[in-house]
Chain A
Amino acid sequence: MLSQLPVLPVLLPLIGAPACALLRRPTLAWVFACLVAVLAFLCTVSLFTTTWQEGVQTYALGGWPSPWGIEYRIDLLNALVLLVVSGIGAAILLASRASVWQEIGETRRGLFYVACLLCLAGLLGIAATGDAFNLFVFLEISSLSTYALVAMGPDRRALLAAYNYLIMGTIGATFILIGIGFLYMLTGTLSMADLGERLPAMGESRTAFAAYAFIVVGVCLKLALFPLHLWLPGAYTRAPSIVTVFLAATSTKVALYVLIRFTYSVFHLEFSQLAQALDTVFIALGVIAVFAGSLVAIFEADLKRGLAYSSVAQIGFMVIGLGIGTVEGLQASLIHLFNHALMKGALFLALAAFILRVGSSNFSSLRGIGRRMPLATAAFVLAGISLIGIPGTAGFISKWYLVLAAAAQQQWILLGLILAGSLLTAVYIWRFVETAYAEPEGDSVIQRNEAPLGMLLVIVLLALLNLYFGFDSRLPVETAGGAAQALLGGDAS
């Protein structure tokens, strides 16, 4: 069974989703979805350790070797992303019951979990596959289910947000499709490994350039990189709370993975003279994203929307790492990918708990939440501190490596900008802390009303993980380092 490991994390939710659809009772569907997600996570953990110890795992689906068939190639990068997505996915599903039961109507709950599993399967499939077209297919599975999940939001604006996301996302996917088509035209293959080998032989081709451009734009639409982020705040704000957690913690991570995979595994050495310009663009966009996102987040009256913009900013940080273009930069980017999933998972989940108890994510209604829900609020603050990047939390490790990468390239201005960006994070996190603890109560008497136990446990667990990975950062750091080294080869450092 061990040889089947690479396919299992994807297969479980993939088969689990239709099976889940057969279950009529929502509670049963929830239990089943949790079971599937946890199993998938366990498989991922096992896959991760195998990859860690034995190196790249390949798996030929249908027994047809690449490039004739579709192949899974799990290297450290895949394993890391799989680990993040399945872990957070399982945690969120486990925590979801109370929030879903409140926000999703009775008739929809069962299928809601089917859609969740489909989304999970899609995201895991993207992260695992070694075939460019297969990636597109799984991208669509995850996207379609996401559109439906976003539309489940309680407000009618959720529908519009979902529609906008659908249009933007489909344009993005079609761009990726065009890019893959160009690549196929140039090389005759769809396997990413094979593409990576055959593309350099094609020389400096304008078609390859166009292919890369389209794939980058398409992925950045999914990634919500400034200025292609317009769908994100709406979708995150209007979606049901649990869906927001899920999207924020996993979906953009996977998009970043795709960007990295295409940039370094498929196109690597080919754009030698172009790489410089492109890196500058990435860094510039990343910095603008950090500042624009943070500034909007600071002045946002709604915490959920504020955090959504914060996501735009954090994606900026990741892209900056990518844009630095060295092993260190990439490593920083991947570490932040890992850590950000933990932070935003905890933040949005705690927010979901607030919404569950208070009914709104508006700052004005969150006054005194620190007394009403002390543990959830504390977890939120801890994750927030991690987001800022205070030492002792996971966020510090991310920032440290990012700064390290910038310093190694003598990019002192960038270094300053990164730090200033972190400071902006502090402002909006502190705004919440102030609201939660210091502001006078509203007219209603505050009663202790903590989040439901299952949810609370997951929130606290995620927050504590932020702390844990702030002290023992070997897992993300070494994995990311190994992955970055493998991607860039002996090229840099």
Chain B
Amino acid sequence: MEVLIDIVLLSLLVATAVALVMVRGLIASIMLTSVYGLLSASFFVTMGAVDVAFTEAAVGAGVSPLLLLFTVAVIGRKERAPEGGAVLVKSLLLVVVTGALLIVGTLDMPPFGSPDAPAQTHVAPYYLQQSGAEIGIPNVVTSVLASYRAYDTLGEVLVIFTAGVAVILILASSSHRGSARLRNATVPDGSPHTILQVVGKILIPFILLFAFYVQFHGEYGPGGGFQAGVIFASGVILYGLLFGLPTVCRVLPPPVMEVLAALGVLIFGLTGVMSLLNGAPFLDYSVLADDPVTAQHIGIMVIELGVGITVASVITAIYYAFANQLEPGPN
């Protein structure tokens, strides 16, 4: 049964990718990207990677197409016919060579799904067997993410922070530093989205609530700071789409978002510095409490919070920066 679902999903993925190669027009491409993200998320579920699936659904099928759509709204949806001739031949050649190399690489791989493969027998078993005792939370992915490889996660937060800085830097105009201008204009469109606004008003609080649930439930089930941040930001973006950029900017001013983004990273980083100051290695949570397991709990909680804050505020700030490009006015 699992194999069947597997094959179906993979076939759909291939079909989507092929369609992406064939299709012309950016809107269609973006929709296919979204479909691709959703399909791969489903695939991840069948592979047992629920956390990844959650994230991919939020990012691959959500945020990423959203950003693409914003871009297309600015630049237009047209796409020229693809280059033929030499470019095509060269690209095909390159792809075929690379692909062949990859195929050759797969030939000596351990069989798919084998429990005896080195990947399954060397480091991973330690996490599965020891994390219960050492960290004390059921979600092993969170244990590894937030404690064993917390430094990677710090790097990840920094990546998203960097992206925020980069987007704001790139899209900043000469007249303002922040990601958006606060203006008094109301919703520019003549016809208010009454129905959408009503439904939005009902749903958005629940979306935000759900974000908090995901944030703090990450230790027990799929979820965590990153997913929570994305969901929170989606709520904010939805609000912005329905009620206009100025409205949402009044609620969450762009400068505040920038400060929050930095603060999130700092919360994470300074947690590590705390250990450092107490003579333990960076990000060693054991100094946070007397009981090592409790200490791990506290540590994970705090850094997940940092992750959540940064992700939510960076994605919101990126949204502001892009949405600002849509606003008419001197830019």
Contact = CB atoms under 8 A, between A and B. Distances in A.
**When A and B assemble into the complex, do they touch directly, with CB atoms less than 8 Å apart?**
yes
Contacts of A209: 104-105
Given A62-B282, A111-B169, A185-B117, A18 B106 contact: no
Contact of B155 (A21, A68, A106, A138): A138
B162 A145 contact: yes
Given A209-B105, A210-B102, A18 B281 contact: no
Contact of B262 (A19, A115, A140, A206): A19
Interface string B273-311: 101100111111110000000000000000000000000
Given A4-B276, A61-B150, A14 B166 contact: no
Interface string B121-165: 111101100000000000000000001111110111011011101
A414 B87 CA distance: 35
A468 interface: no
A125 B154 CA distance: 12
B286 A211 contact: no
Contacts of A115: 162, 165-166, 169
A210 B166 contact: no
A452 interface: no
A361 B154 CA distance: 40
B11 interface: no
Contact of A148 (B123, B166, B273): B166
Nearest to A152: B169
A18 B169 contact: no
B162 A144 contact: yes
Interface in B165-191: 165-170, 172-177
A105 to B, nearest CB: 5
Contacts of B119: 184-185, 187-188
Contact of A60 (B105, B154, B259, B281): B281
B101 A121 contact: no
A19 B162 contact: no
Interface in A166-199: 178, 182, 184-190, 198
A206 B124 CA distance: 24
Contacts of A62: 147-151, 281-285
B interface secondary structure, majority: helix
Contacts of B104: 206, 209-210
A22 B155 contact: no
A59 interface: yes
Contact of B123 (A7, A19, A122, A188): A188
A160 interface: no
Contacts of A17: 158, 161, 265
Given A148-B170, A213-B101, A15 B159 contact: no
A47 interface: no
A267 interface: no
Given A4-B282, A21-B261, A151-B170, A67 B151 contact: no
Given A59-B281, A62-B151, A68 B162 contact: no
Contacts of B155: 125, 134, 137-138, 141
Interface stretch (B52-60, B61-69, B107-115, B227-235): B107-115
Given A187-B122, A189-B122, A18 B265 contact: yes
A68 B125 CA distance: 10
B102 A68 contact: no
Given A18-B262, A63-B284, A207 B152 contact: no
B161 A207 contact: no
A207 B170 CA distance: 40
A205 interface: yes
Nearest to A118: B162
A69 interface: yes
A187 B126 CA distance: 15
A interface secondary structure, majority: helix
Contacts of A213: 101, 105
Interface in A102-148: 105-108, 110-112, 114-115, 118, 121-122, 125, 131, 133-134, 137-138, 140-141, 144-145, 147-148
B51 interface: no
Among B108, B122, B150, B265, residue most surrounded by chain A Cβ atoms (within 10 Å): B108
Contacts of A299: none
B262 A22 contact: yes
A69 B104 CA distance: 31
B270 interface: yes
B143 to A, nearest CB: 11
A134 B151 contact: yes
Contact of A206 (B105, B120, B280): B105
B105 A148 contact: no
A22 B263 CA distance: 8
Interface string A350-364: 000000000000000
B151 A70 contact: yes
Contacts of A144: 159, 162-163, 166
A4 B273 CA distance: 11
A70 B145 CA distance: 11
A11 interface: yes
A101 interface: no
Contact of A105 (B122, B127, B170, B174): B174
B220 to A, nearest CB: 21
A137 B266 contact: no
B126 A68 contact: yes
A64 interface: yes
A11 B265 CA distance: 12
8 shortest interchain CB distances as A-B pairs: A210-B105, A188-B122, A148-B166, A63-B284, A137-B155, A18-B262, A107-B177, A188-B118
16 contacts: A11-B282, A17-B161, A18-B269, A22-B263, A62-B148, A62-B151, A63-B275, A107-B173, A110-B177, A134-B152, A144-B166, A185-B110, A189-B122, A190-B123, A209-B104, A210-B105
Given A4-B281, A145-B165, A186-B109, 10 more contacts: A18-B262, A18-B263, A18-B266, A61-B150, A63-B280, A63-B286, A111-B165, A122-B162, A207-B109, A214-B105
